[in-house]
Chain A
Amino acid sequence: MGEELKRILGIAIPLIIVCVLSGAALTASYDLTEERIEAVEQEKITESLSIIFPGASFTATDDYYSATMGGEEMGYAFIAEGRGYSSTIKTMVGLYPNGTIRRIYVVSQSETPGLGTSIAEPDFTSQFNGKRIEDVRLRQDGGVIDAITGATISSRAITDTVRERAEVVLNETR
């Protein structure tokens, strides 16, 4: 019995040590980087807000940011988040109070490289500029947005999340 226990411990203890050390290293790295990562993510939001409404100042509410410039209300900006083909697509949307999209900007996504990733490029996102919310659908779904060849799922995902969130935000502001 003693021999057997020794053999098992001889195998188990090194594995436990490896796991504990790795866990400790991970915890330390997480602690060291947590604040930086949060700052980086916050900066991304700030940056995308200024891309949507350059020069405006923002007041945050629970769900969206209102953009004002020189005391005058410009519109709303909010994050639309939805499931794409292989990742969560996070998009910053600028919306005029009359229900027209100002522009959109993809904050983060990890879709298929070379295919779905094209949803973040201006060729695709500029299609949203100045469109009415109800028209923001793919052409094959009765809207005005052209899907990217070979990436219909990603294109539909971003289009639908933008429209759905925009409808919710517009209702809240009224």
Chain B
Amino acid sequence: MKLDELTKGVFKYNPIFYLVLGLCPLLAVSTRVDNALGMSLGVFFVLVSSNVIISLFRHWIPSQVRIPCFIVVIASFVTIVELFMHGYAPELYGRLGIYLPLIVVNCIILGRVEAFASKKPVFDSFLDAIGMSIGFTLGIVGIAVCREVLSTGKIAIFGYTLVPTFTQSPSVMMILPPGAFLTIGVIMALINYRSIRKEGR
């Protein structure tokens, strides 16, 4: 089933909650919803492109040096995206500029390239990348929603207020690193609790 390659990344093998990959940028960028969306967009670009490119060349890359090859390809790709965005979309670059270099060290990219794209045909890798990006987006935006609401008392995306201020004394801790750990911990606990109960039946 081709469609499985797409949907598995969203729910069954969600990169954040199931594979537990890419937590470093996740912790750093999930402070606000618009930042989370920006990071997701960057991950989408780079993940899809590097999965497709690596999958195209998978027969030519010797397995002993595959990791250096992958890293070089991913890092070059991120830099190219960064250069062009800086020159031709300065508005977007202003928002995403800080997160683009973080994508190089995002384990989801290397993880998917190594575990999937280096073994599977191009189209499957393409679907896998899209699914994983959607899974990553759901995870990071979900966490950002919790953290932004609790830390600022409202949600504002690109200047539009989605949830108006409902408290005058929000918790600053939620925007600091402990807030990220707490949120991820609670969400993972809920997911694991559900799957344990399901198995028990």
Measured CB to CB, the residues of A under 8 A from B are 10-12, 14-15, 18-19, 22-23, 25-26, 29-30, 32-33, 36-37, 40, 43-44, 87, 110, 112-115, 149-150
With known contacts A11-B65, A33-B83, A150-B175, A18–B31 Cβ distance under 8 A: no
CA distance A77 to B32 in the complex (A): 33
What are some 13 contacts across the A-B interface (CB < 8 A)?
Answer: A11-B65, A14-B65, A18-B72, A22-B75, A23-B76, A26-B80, A30-B83, A32-B87, A33-B84, A33-B88, A37-B87, A110-B97, A113-B29
Nearest chain B residue, comparing its CB with the CB of A36 = B87
Complex contact B87–A40 (CB within 8 A): yes
Contact assessment for A14 and B97 in the assembled complex, using a CB-CB cutoff below 8 Å? no
Residues of chain B contacted by A14 (CB below 8 angstroms): 60-62, 65, 69
Further 8 A-B residue pairs, CB within 8 A, beyond A15-B62, A33-B87: A14-B61, A14-B62, A18-B72, A19-B72, A23-B76, A29-B80, A33-B83, A115-B176
B51 within 8 A of A: no
Please name the residue on chain A nearest to B35 by beta carbon. A113
Query: Which of A11, A12, A113 is close to B98, meaning CB atoms less than 8 Å apart?
Result: A113
Total A-B Cβ pairs within 8 A? 78
B97 / chain A contacts, CB cutoff of 8 Å:
110
- Chain A positions within 8 Å of B86 at CB level: 33, 36-37, 40
Interface assignment of B188: CB less than 8 Å from any CB of chain A: no
A113 touches B65 (CB 8 A): no
Interface secondary structure of A, over-half rule: helix
> What is the interface residue range for chain B against chain A?
20 to 34
- Asked if A26 and B175 make an inter-chain contact with CB atoms under 8 angstroms apart, the answer reads no
**Residues in chain B near residue A25, CB distance under 8 A:** 76, 80
Task: From A10, A22, A150, name the one whose CB has the most chain B CB atoms within 10 angstroms.
Answer: A22
**Is B168 interfacial (CB-CB < 8 Å)?**
no
For the complex of A and B, the 8 pairs showing the least CB-CB separation, nearest first, are A36-B87, A114-B31, A110-B98, A33-B87, A22-B76, A33-B83, A15-B65, A29-B80
When distances are taken between beta carbons in the complex, the residues of chain A under 8 Å from B190 are: none
| B196 shortest CB reach to chain A, Å | 34
One digit per residue, 1 when the CB lies within 8 angstroms of any chain A CB and 0 when it does not, for chain B 59-82 equals 011101100110011011001100
